[in-house]
Structure 1
């Protein structure tokens, strides 16, 4: 039986893409994930994730990823009359399932109602795999943990390339001072932010408003 785990990286970031990634593996090979030390990516250092990335790919697995750029994420924001990030993530998840064709799918649910999210995905599929959709699935199922690790490393690689282009932009999350400083510098020096920034995020709105207030006061 082919099992698939799906998770994302970058959903809440203000800079960079949303990466949704699925990994499929035969049920009998699940113990091999355990043996190489796969666990919840949030409990792993960046270096540990990178080491596991190579180990995971060396196993008998198939991987499919969907990388959604900042502009596309912005288009799905409800505040911009979009369908919502959950719909965007569900669409990416469906692409993954259609490509990997697993019999059982484990998903880390972004919806407060996991059953609703599972139903949304099933409605968009051309076949009916068994879907186990739960909160914190990345800490409960090794196959989802593996997907989480691969997604985070993929996104980290993209962020590193963006940093080469634009300078230090931190982790891309608004909780990171380096990220906020980068956005502030962009607005101060150029009056705009680069295309890798999600312009619909509150962090950008606040910085733009602060800049406008300072301009009016000046």
Structure 2
């Protein structure tokens, strides 16, 4: 499947596309897609940002029919190094957030995927707005081979903490190892596997010995790898998207908007949840060993 992304800034052009594809219109569950259609096996998605995405076996003819030129995008610049290797990159999101669980994603990126990723504006998720992440992550999920794991707060509180199976580092080792293992089981053949370094390689290797599943591929640990390798950047974006989605879903169960992070806002929301629903419910939404729990209790004189 090929993908062509075009940024359209003129409302007239967008209106023309919608008009010409009106009879081929289809529904889309993505809240940032304002129009979706499928013609001749090519899906056309128009986003709120004005970006138009063509996906299909041969989208070029339809792109040209709609009046756009197909420009080679290999020369586009990126802050991420162009690693000309088939690579798995792994990253996690949620470790520093009181509410929500931990999401780990391992993604396989081949050099042939680079033009598509750069055209989408793939970069370290920390440099992208949540709106941008919610917009492009579904496209990445569809196009790029990946494996995602979510450890929800309820399970996190059962396995992480004093006297329990894991600490805050070993649980991430387990998740990264399992995500990469499962992705390799899908048959991908990376020349390199990079993990965004959250601990030393020595610590990682010590913890991973306790895991059930293992693989022989060597690992590379890089600090801030999401800003250096496209494979890690893809994982960073998908992981952030899944974390935010889960945060939304958890909040809906209790009628609160759950903030990301571990600041004073998290203390305030946690105190309101304790007051209305009790600590048992909070344990399903937050990582209880964080200091925020005690801070929330103090706000209530608990």
Q: Normalising by the residue count of structure 2, what TM-score does the alignment of the two structures yield?
A: 0.62
Matched, 1:149 2:237: yes
Residues 126-205 of structure 1 aligned to structure 2 (within 5 Å): 126-175=214-263, 177=265, 179-194=266-281, 195-205=284-294
Stretch moving more, 124-133 or 146-155:
124-133
| Residue ranges of structure 1 left out of the alignment (5+ in a row) | none
Tell me, yes or no, if the aligned pair for 1:24 and 1:63 is still in contact at 8 Å.
yes
Q: Deviations over 1:107-145 (max 9, x none)?
A: 11111x245425654885533213111111111111111
Larger Rg: 2
Indicate the structure with greater helix content: 1
Q: Normalising by the residue count of structure 1, what TM-score does the alignment of the two structures yield?
A: 0.84
Q: Distance in 2 between matches of 1:118 and 1:32?
A: 34
Change (3 A) 1:86 1:121: same
Residues 45-124 of structure 1 aligned to structure 2 (within 5 Å): 45-59=129-143, 61-101=144-184, 102-103=189-190, 104-111=192-199, 113-117=200-204, 120-121=207-208, 124=211
| Residue ranges of structure 2 left out of the alignment (5+ in a row) | 1-84
TM superposition shift of 1:176 = 5.4
Backbone CA RMSD of aligned residues: 2.4
Q: Distance in 2 between matches of 1:73 and 1:205?
A: 18
- The structure with higher relative contact order (CA 8 Å, sep 6+) is 1
Counterpart of 1:39?
A: 123
TM superposition shift of 1:58 = 4.1
Q: Distance in 1 between matches of 2:295 and 2:163?
A: 16
Q: Between Structure 1 and Structure 2, how many residues are aligned?
A: 210
Stretch moving more, 136-145 or 125-134:
125-134
